[in-house]
Amino acid sequence: MKEQEKIFPKKSAPEKSARMVETIYGCKWSLTIYQLLANDINRPGAMVRSVEGLTTKVLNECLRKNTKFGILERVDFNEVPPRVEYRVTRFGTKFLRILDELEKLQNEIECEIA
């Protein structure tokens, strides 16, 4: 070996976070849901009424995925009739900043191509 060659281990993609980004971007409604939450629309019924084409079934599936990843949290209120709201978690706030940066990168790419 010549003068202490450095050997670097093989670097692999961050598996869990990459899968999370892929899943969230794969759900065409996730970004819309984040926008609704930013505008204080946090109840599922209000979300469905606010977005044309969004169904309860699709919304619930999307909310479930986001809750599973820890991006959103479900808050149940002990009331009659039952009330449920969703909020962005502390981790979700960090994750949304990453999505914002990806959007900025996409805009830069589009400007360079145009």
Q: How much is the pLDDT for 13?
A: 67
Q: How much is the pLDDT for 103?
A: 85
Q: How much is the pLDDT for 14?
A: 73
Q: How much is the pLDDT for 2?
A: 58
Q: How much is the pLDDT for 75?
A: 97
Q: How much is the pLDDT for 17?
A: 81
Q: How much is the pLDDT for 50?
A: 96
DSSP code string of 15-80: HHHHHHHHHHHHSTTHHHHHHHHHTT--SHHHHHHHSTT--HHHHHHHHHHHHHTTSEEEEEE--S
pTM of the model: 0.79
| Residue 89 · residue 71 · CB < 8 Å | yes
Q: How much is the pLDDT for 40?
A: 95
| Residue 89 · residue 42 · CB < 8 Å | no
Q: How much is the pLDDT for 26?
A: 83
Which parts of the chain register pLDDT below 50?
Answer: 1
